[in-house]
Structure 1
Amino acid sequence: MNIAPEVLQNPATGIAGLAQAQPANATGNNKLDQDSFLRLMTTQLKFQDPFDPLDNQAMVAQLAQFSSVAGISEMKQSLSEIASILGNNRLSDAKEWIGHSILVPGNISVADKNGQYSGEFELENATDNLSIDLLNEAGEIVMFVELGQQEAGPVEFNFDSKNENGEPLDQGRLRVRVNGGSISNLATWVPVASVKTSEANGPPILVTPIGNVFPAEALKVG
Structure 2
Amino acid sequence: MTGISSTTQADALSSYRTQENTSTPENELGQDAFLELLVAQLNNQNPLDPQDNGDFIAELAQFSSVEGIDNLNNSVDSLLSDYKSSQALQASALVGRQVVVPNNEVYWSGEGSIPAMVEVEEGASNVMFNITSDDGALVAQIPMTEALPGENNVLWDGKDAEGNALPPGKYKFTATGVVDEKAESFVVYGSARVNSVTLGDGSTMLNVAGIGQIPLSEVREIAE
Whether 2:185 is the aligned partner of 1:180: answer no
For the 8 Å contact 2:129–2:176, the answer to whether it is kept is: yes
For the 8 Å contact 2:107–2:209, the answer to whether it is kept is: no
Give the count of matched residue pairs.
191
- Percent of residue pairs identical: 14
For the 8 Å contact 1:206–1:215, the answer to whether it is kept is: no
**1:91-170 alignment runs, 5 A limit:** 93-111=90-108, 114-147=111-144, 152-162=149-159, 169-170=166-167
Unaligned runs of 5+ in 1: 4-15, 23-27, 55-61
- What TM-score do the two structures reach when normalised by structure 2? 0.62
Root mean square deviation of aligned Cα: 4.3
For the 8 Å contact 1:130–1:180, the answer to whether it is kept is: yes
Counterpart-to-counterpart distance in 1, 2:86 and 2:50? 55
Residue type of the partner of 2:85?
A: L
The superposition leaves residues 119-160 of structure 1 with CA deviations (integer Å, 9 ceiling, x where unpaired) of 121211323422222111211111113346855333332222
Partner of 1:83: 82
Report which stretch shifted further, 75-84 or 34-43: 75-84
Larger C-alpha radius of gyration, 1 or 2? 1
Query: What is the CA-CA distance between 1:111 and the residue it aligns to?
Result: 3.5
Counterpart-to-counterpart distance in 2, 1:71 and 1:154? 45
The superposition leaves residues 82-135 of structure 1 with CA deviations (integer Å, 9 ceiling, x where unpaired) of 3254234x4x55332122111101221333774323312121132342222211
**1:54-93 alignment runs, 5 A limit:** 72=71, 75-76=74-75, 79-80=78-79, 82-88=81-87, 90=88, 93=90
- Given the superposition, is the C-alpha separation of residues 75 and 112 from structure 1 closer, same or farther in structure 2, using an over 3 Å criterion? same
Partner of 2:57: none
- Given the superposition, is the C-alpha separation of residues 45 and 216 from structure 1 closer, same or farther in structure 2, using an over 3 Å criterion? same
Q: Which secondary structure does the structure 2 equivalent of 1:98 belong to?
A: coil
Unaligned runs of 5+ in 2: 11-16, 21-27, 53-59, 179-183
Residue type of the partner of 1:211?
A: G
Residue type of the partner of 1:47?
A: Q
For the 8 Å contact 1:110–1:172, the answer to whether it is kept is: yes
**1:5-44 alignment runs, 5 A limit:** 32-33=29-30, 34-44=32-42
Query: What is the CA-CA distance between 1:219 and the residue it aligns to?
Result: 1.0
Query: What is the CA-CA distance between 1:37 and the residue it aligns to?
Result: 2.8
Q: Which secondary structure does the structure 2 equivalent of 1:197 belong to?
A: strand
